[in-house]
Amino acid sequence: MLLLATTTGYQTRMFGEAAARLGVELVYATDRCDQIDDPWGDGALAVRYYEEWRSADTVLKALESRPVDGILAVGDRPTVMAAYLSRLLGLPGHPPDAARAARDKRLGRERLKAAGLLVPAFISVPASVDPARLLERVELPVVIKPTVLSGSRGVIRADDPASFVTAFGRVQRLLAAPDVQELRDPEADLIQIEHYIPGREFALEAVLEHGGFRTLAIFDKPDPLEGPFFEETLYVTPSRASATVQRAIEVAAAAAAAALGLHHGPIHAECRVNARGVYVLEVAARPIGGLCANMLRFTGSGGAAISFEELLVRHATGEPIAGWDREAEASAVMMIPIPRGGVYRRVDGVDEAKAIAGVDDVLITAKPDQHLVPLPEGASYLGFIFARAATAATAEQAVRSAHACLRFTIDPLLALWGNVPGR
């Protein structure tokens, strides 16, 4: 039996499908509600991730005497709880303190710095501080970010004193938002300020096998991520960077994972590369999030391709995965950005986009009448475009061409006033 510690997200059902194909019983520990319920099938669990030890204890009591063969964490919030469960059940996994450091930007930076790795100059300050009083302590340009949120949410570049004060205020307001306060994270009242690192950005997907580091894929991020916001739009693999650069990325990511203390399970790393070397921005103790994982497929000696989720289910249940490698075809995904805030009404051109050569699928995840919030305050996309081709350049062009076909209707919020009686 495999325990999947997860938030409610796109990947949950994909892991369920992968487990079913392999004949693996899957039990969920989710954050859907405060009680044990059955949201996905017999035996599914539901707990809140307020306190990792308390949540772990709730799951263990609900499992009673049912044997667990492996644990997987999907999403940032469950990683620490999953680490506690691994330890309590005597299963291989990431240590709890390592999972916590990987999730916390302040702790993560401190560990990477202590290990002698390249890190930007940084300070962490209470969210309540007056930003004007911090100007003498920082060297502009800087990046201002919450210490606990993910997906570039709340990450803002500031190049001068005025933009610094404005950006800091936006992050202050974001941390005070109800959905962030609901996390009850003790680090949610801190803001981190880091010197801006120029360079090309990459991502790396890997698994740790009892401390051994195995790269699964390196992704190019071909769109420049220079700010003021850092919305990720394109992932393309295999990387077109030189073999020397790719090897440097692998070495740096492995060193960062070791510095954090990560030991067994999937990891997702983000880094920037410039003339000084590789700066590891983060190493998350979980796989790549959301539907982006659809771009990864793996083939073995039999030639049949399996999904990324199936590979991770095999790994988590103790099956060797050394014979599985990423497929030969290049692949790309576009996380369709929200161009402006407002109310989503519809999208046109989806069939036209799907007809572009190389495009696998166009998935619109936004719902009609949904209130859209772009970065840096927002935490979602309009949808995803996937492509496969013989080369990375062709796959990238396919998703760009498909995106150009899409026409989104987003009404400004002010338009709603016309529907309010008396106005």
What is the pLDDT confidence band of residue 181, given thresholds at 50, 70 and 90?
A: confident
Quick one: pLDDT at residue 151? 80
Distant-in-sequence, close-in-space partners of 170: CB < 8 Å, separation ≥ 6: 154, 156, 376, 377
Residue 37 and residue 94 in one domain: yes
- Predicted confidence (pLDDT) at residue 49 exceeds the cutoff of 70: no
Q: How confident is the model at residue 251 (pLDDT cuts 50, 70, 90)?
A: very high
| Per-residue pLDDT tens over the stretch 269-327 | 999 999 999 999 999 999 998 789 999 999 997 778 999 999 999 999 999 999 999 99
Answer yes or no: is 236 within a domain.
no
pLDDT category, 36, cuts 50, 70, 90? very low
Question: Residue 261 CA to chain centroid, in angstroms?
Answer: 19
Residue 20, in any domain of the structure: yes
Measured distance CA(168)–CA(126) in Å, rounded: 11
Is 43 a residue whose pLDDT tops 60?
Answer: no
Pair (77, 126) in one structural domain? no
Q: Distance (Å, rounded) from C-alpha 218 to C-alpha 200? A: 13
**Cα separation, 114 vs 104, whole angstroms:** 15
Q: Are residues 158 and 68 in the same domain?
A: no
Residue 374 lies in domain = 330-423
- In the block, which residue shows the tokens 């100007």? 135
Based on the fold, state whether residues 80 and 148 are members of the same structural domain: no
Same domain flag for 334 and 396: yes
Radius of gyration, CA atoms only, the chain:
21
Strands 26-30 and 45-46, sheet pairing: parallel
pLDDT-derived band at 47 (thresholds 50, 70, 90) equals: very low
Residue 189 belongs to domain with CATH number: 3.30.1490.20
**Quick one: 94 and 145 in the same domain?**
no
Do residues 150 and 70 share a domain?
no
Domain count, the chain: 3
Asked if the structure places residue 351 within a domain, the reply is yes
Q: Is residue 349 part of a domain?
A: yes
Give the pLDDT mean for 121-134. 96
Burial environment of residue 385 by CB neighbours within 10 A (0 to 12, 13 to 18, 19 or more): buried
Is residue 203 in a domain?
no
Name the domain boundary from 133, 162, 195: 195
Residue 291 identity? L
* Both structure tokens of 134: 């911090």
Same domain, 65 and 6: yes
Among 14-23, 216-225, 272-281, the minimum mean pLDDT is found in 14-23
94 and 137 fall within a common domain: no
Cα gap 45→32, rounded to integer Å: 9
Tell whether 227 is covered by a domain.
no
Residues in the chain: 423
pLDDT reading at 389 higher than 80? yes
Place of tokens 């599985």: 324
Do residues 236 and 264 touch, judged by C-beta distance below 8 A? no
| Domain membership flag for residue 414 | yes
Q: 132 near 158, Cβ under 8 Å?
A: no
pLDDT for 422: 36
Is residue 389 in some structural domain? Answer: yes
Instruction: Return all residues near 362 (Cβ < 8 A) that are at least 6 apart.
Output: 350, 353, 354, 383, 384, 385, 386, 402, 406
Task: Write the CATH number for 57.
Answer: 3.40.50.20
What is the arithmetic mean of pLDDT over 397-403?
98
CATH of the domain at 402: 3.30.470.20
Q: What strands lie across the sheet with 277-284, from one edge to the other?
A: 277-284, 265-274, 200-209, 212-220, 234-237, 330-336, 383-389, 359-364
